[in-house]
Structure 1
Amino acid sequence: MTIIRQPSLFGIQELYNMEPTQKYEAIISTIDVDAIYHAVTKKSRFGAPEELNYAAMIISCFVRYVERIPTIKDLIKRLHEDIAFKLNCGFLVSDAVPSEASYSRLVTKLLECDILEKQKEKVVLQAIEEGFITDDTVAIDATHFEARDQTPPKEEKPKSEQKKRGRKTKEEREQWLKDQAEKEATMPLYEKKIEAQLDVPLAELRSEVPIEPKWGVKKNSEGKNVFWFGYKAHLIVGTSSQYILDSLFSSGNLNDGKAAIPLLKGIHERLPQLNLRYNTMDAGYDFEPIYEQVHRMGQQSVIAYNKRNEGELLGYDKHFAPTCFREHSYRYDSFDAKYETLKYTSPKECRECPLANEGICQKVYKMKITKDLRKYTAPARGSKAWDNIYKRRTAVERVNAYLKEWFQLNNVRYRTGKRAKVHFDMVTLVYNASKLAADRIDAQLNPSQTA
């Protein structure tokens, strides 16, 4: 009997087990280092000449994340002690090893331009062109990481702003509502309600994201609040390819839901060639404006429902499917995309029901999703199709774990938000570059399987 051996997939872990020369070349070849070099080098022939090898410095910054070197100081030490490593980073034997101050100036030049953002988008476009990104479903989630600075004490509201006990009079309430409306009108964009983002252009949404380190809060496995000081990484990931299609860096106190619309608009405007159908998110994104944004894009939301002190709807089950006279749930049958209508058929229990021939219960229910985008999704909540799509959301959690474990996302070495954003952009760029490099090698090893 002939034994057929299945070819194994080549992934990021196998890539990182390769020899340094091959590994660096495979990863760096996916990034346009020349474009970054031209963005950070001197634009004028006047002034002091630059004696540093900026191209090699840029490569060594990427290699630092590949090799998990924790600090620039450790990188410089490695360049001094390991001549092979120095050559693999692009330096010549005669080149002087840059100082920490030189690397700091490079980071300053990178934060003054948006070249890393452009390179992140370029790598994704290249992966799409080569056929490695063919997802129809994306997942959105956020992960936190702490700042380099020592955590300051939490700010307490002054006594004048603390809530007064007792019920307000009619005049006090009218004045309070007026003050709240004036206050909200002058608020920064990300302090307003999420619906304020719907008609704001993408460029403005991204430019106004708060990026300074702030106190954040999350619930642990025991349901208790845990406070931390730092930042958040918001990612939108292809559930099959596991590429980061778009990302957002923010302060730690930004609500996860307020980053969803910028990410959704980002892939809709920047990556129109993707044929996306579903957007999966956990219950932290269960806000009506997010459903509205997905609907405007012509796609479907698969978001866990977050019950907010809402009572049970009479005639419907917990998944908002209609119920019969004896409170059995109707079964989801299909979705008519043309009319945006969900079709439900009679429950199994109705076959043997003594009221079946009485005409009390109808056999088919049709429900337009536009009646309530939050409750009625396609496929319908509670159906096997909905559950199977929602399970794909774990892809973004897997990518979050990769970024922290393999790419040093939680190892911020800078004290300001702008410099920490350079770290975040480097991490996400190196991840996508490593993914593209691994996919290219896998395609060469298993051409028939890729085809």
Structure 2
Amino acid sequence: MQRWSIVQEELLPELWNEVGPLIPKLEKVIHTLEWVRLEEYVRASWCGLGRPPHERSWLANAFVAKVVLGITTTVGLIERLSVDRSLRRICGCPTQKVLPSEATFSRAFDEFAKARLAERVHEALIQEHLGKELIGHISRDGTAIEARERPCSVKATQAPSSVPTTTPATDAPPASQPTATVCDTPVAPKRRRGRPKSGEERQQTAKISPLARQRIQTLAEMIEEIPTACDRGTKSNAQGYKVSWNGYKLHLDTADCGVPIAALLSSASMHDSRAAIPLSRISAQRVTNLYDLMDAAYCSHDLREDSRNLGHVPLIDHNPRGGEKIEFLPHEAIRYNERTAAERTNARLKDEFGASHLMVRGATKVMSHLMFGVLALCADQLMRLRS
């Protein structure tokens, strides 16, 4: 609140005297930058040799301003900075110096993506403002993210049916190196198709579901197994029609106050339920909540038991799967209506904070682009709660 009063009483009048009246969008940029405080997490390293690099803190502020102002491309951001003296002053760019090139902005964004800058700032922001609060409901949902890249094609690698016993003389290794034998690379016997013969016994391999495997894994192991390659996804929308897209899927945990608590990026083809347990682990490390609200895509016994083990009450819409649907109790149905917070968050993220205009490629950069939007959305929601 002290920083907030300084912004309202000192910074804004100073800017008004220097550059004139500010439009509401620029005031929103100022408030957002004061909430996220990116300059505390950006460090510029220079050994004193060669040309000094541009200050990374104001470049990071420029990417947040790009999201808040709805600018879709880096070229558009540079053009806006070149003509808008107020925006340059707000981001911290020296007004007497020439703006860096588009390549410099791209290199800086690549550094921010590899260092997970937006994700670290988002985690600190949530722990600072909501870490000691009691959250009533956490709404979990995934939304489609369309990308401008070709979906990857995964080719299944099959083991050779037979291992050659002899090799050509030209491919023989030197005598000093050990020669690999058939016993060094065991090949599992291929299962024959069809019904077994009379009296034949076949060994049954026990299969464990992905959700059951996640319950005995660590958070790092679960995140490592989540696919992040760009591919094609299909899901049913709210009207029941199937929608397909190329790109990714963003999974969010949203508090009932509209603030995103945790985020994960996956391939578009991954089912929403595989991101539920990792998201619940991340959210549990940041905030304390009572209820977990999920739609019918998350209907699973493993997810209900995992939520109860965390001390939460799971409210998951039942998926009949051809049987009889189990309805909520009256008091549970009232609480389940709070899940609309997830839908509003996904809509605002796409309509107001750049999630529908993806101009970068690769899961690392895509996640960084989306997290800058999540940061701006968190700051906007926190400002609404304060006011």
TM-score, reference length from structure 2: 0.78
Q: Is the 8 A contact 1:249 1:424 kept in 2?
A: no
Write the distance in 1 (CA, Å) between the matches of 2:312 and 2:117: 31
1:290 aligned onto 2:303: yes
Q: 1:47–1:195: structure 2 CA closer, same or farther, 3 Å change rule?
A: farther
Deviations for 1:211-253, whole angstroms, at most 9, x for unmatched residues? 22111111246644332110111011112x1111111111111
Between 255-264 and 199-208, the greater mean CA deviation after superposition? 199-208
Deviations 1:347-383 (A, max 9, x none): xxxxxxxxxxxxxxxxxxxxxxxxxxxxxxxxxx532
Distance 1:221-1:35 versus aligned 2 partners, 3 A rule: closer
The residue number in structure 2 matching 1:88 is 90
Q: Deviations over 1:107-135 (max 9, x none)?
A: 22112223322211111122226x8x542
Aligned to 2:278: 262
Displacement after TM superposition at 1:54 (Å): 2.1
Task: Work out which of the residue numbers 314, 335, 349 in structure 2 matches 1:403.
Answer: 349
Of 249, 267, 270, which residue of structure 1 is paired with 2:265? 249
Q: Tell whether the 8 Å contact from 1:143 to 1:232 is kept in structure 2 after alignment.
A: yes
**Partners in 1 of 2:359 and 2:233 — Cα distance?**
19
Whole-Å separation in 2 of the counterparts to 1:54 and 1:32 = 13
Report the Cα offset of residue 73 of structure 1.
0.8
Tell me, yes or no, if the aligned pair for 2:114 and 2:364 is still in contact at 8 Å: no
Output the CA distance in 1 between the equivalents of 2:312 and 2:129: 22
Which letter maps to 1:212? A
Letter in 1 for 2:300: F
Change in Cα spacing, 1:247 to 1:155, as seen in structure 2 (3 Å) is closer
**Whole-angstrom distance in 1 between the partners of 2:238 and 2:312:** 33
Q: Measure how far apart 1:46 and its partner are.
A: 4.7
Question: Would the aligned equivalents of 2:116 and 2:368 in 1 still touch at CA under 8 Å?
Answer: no
In structure 1, the residue corresponding to 2:354 is in which secondary structure?
coil
Map 1:78-117 onto structure 2 (within 5 A): 78-117=80-119
One-letter identity of the residue aligned with 1:249: L
Query: Aligned partners of 2:245, 2:25: CA distance in 1, in Å?
Result: 36
Contact 1:36-1:116 within 8 A present in 2 as well: no
Q: CA deviation at 1:155?
A: 7.2
Q: Relative to structure 1, is the Cα distance of residues 156 and 121 closer, same or farther in structure 2, using a 3 angstrom cutoff?
A: closer
Deviation at 1:101, TM superposition (A): 0.8
Structure 1, unaligned runs of 5 or more: 1-16, 159-166, 185-191, 313-317, 320-380, 443-451
Counterparts of 1:134 and 1:280, CA distance in 2: 16
Larger CA deviation: 88-97 vs 398-407: 88-97
Of 37, 45, 50, which residue of structure 2 is paired with 1:48? 50
Mean Cα deviation higher: 405-414 or 91-100 = 91-100
- Name the CA distance, whole Å, in 2 between partners of 1:223 and 1:405: 22
| SS of structure 2 residue aligned to 1:215 | strand
* Segment of structure 1 superposing worse, 393-402 or 201-210: 201-210
> How big is the shift at 1:36?
2.8
**Alpha carbons of structure 1 residues 174 and 24: separation in structure 2 relative to 1, 3 Å:** farther
Q: 1:203 is matched with which residue: 206, 210, 220?
A: 220
Letter in 1 for 2:309: R
**1:357 — aligned with what?**
none
- Is 1:217 matched with 2:234? yes
Q: In 2, are the aligned partners of 1:52 and 1:96 still within 8 Å (CA)?
A: no
Provide the rounded CA distance (Å) in 1 between the counterparts of 2:266 and 2:352.
Answer: 21
| Contact 2:119/2:368, CA 8 A, preserved across alignment | no
The question of whether the paired residues in 1 share the 8 Å contact of 2:38 and 2:121 is answered with no
Distance 1:255-1:29 versus aligned 2 partners, 3 A rule:
same
**CA offsets per residue over residues 4-35 of structure 1, 9 Å max, x none?**
xxxxxxxxxxxxx9634432221111113223
Residue in 2 that maps onto 1:434: 380
Tell me how far 1:419 sits from its aligned partner. 1.1
Residues 1:209 and 1:25: Cα distance change in structure 2 (over 3 Å): same
**Equivalent position amino acid for 2:196 in 1:** K
Number of residues of Structure 1 aligned to a counterpart in Structure 2 = 333
1:139 corresponds to which residue? 139
Which stretches in structure 2 are left out of the alignment for 5+ residues?
A: 1-21, 158-192
Report the alpha carbon displacement of residue 207 of structure 1 after superposing the two structures with TM.
3.8
Listed one character per residue, the Cα deviations across residues 93-117 of structure 1 (whole Å, up to 9, x for unaligned) are 1122121111111122112223322
The one-character-per-residue Cα deviations of 1:192-225 (angstroms, maximum 9, x if unpaired) are 6211101211233234432221111112466443
SS across alignment from 1:306? coil
Counterpart of 1:445? none
Q: 1 CA distance for matches of 2:237 and 2:141? A: 16
Tell me, yes or no, if structure 1 residue 169 matches structure 2 residue 192: no
Match of 1:306 among 319, 322, 328: 319
- Residues of 1 paired with 2:31 and 2:247: CA distance? 33
**CA separation in 1, counterparts of 2:384 and 2:238?**
34
Per-residue deviation, 1:269: 2.4
CA distance in 2, matches of 1:119, 1:296: 29
Find the counterpart in structure 2 of residue 9 from structure 1: none
Question: Does residue 369 of structure 2 align to residue 423 of structure 1?
Answer: yes
The answer on whether the counterparts of 1:282 and 1:304 sit within 8 Å (CA) in structure 2 is yes
Range with bigger deviation, 114-123 or 70-79: 114-123
Distance of 2:81 and 2:150 partners within structure 1: 30
- Aligned in 2, Cα 1:45/1:395: closer, same or farther, shift over 3 Å? same
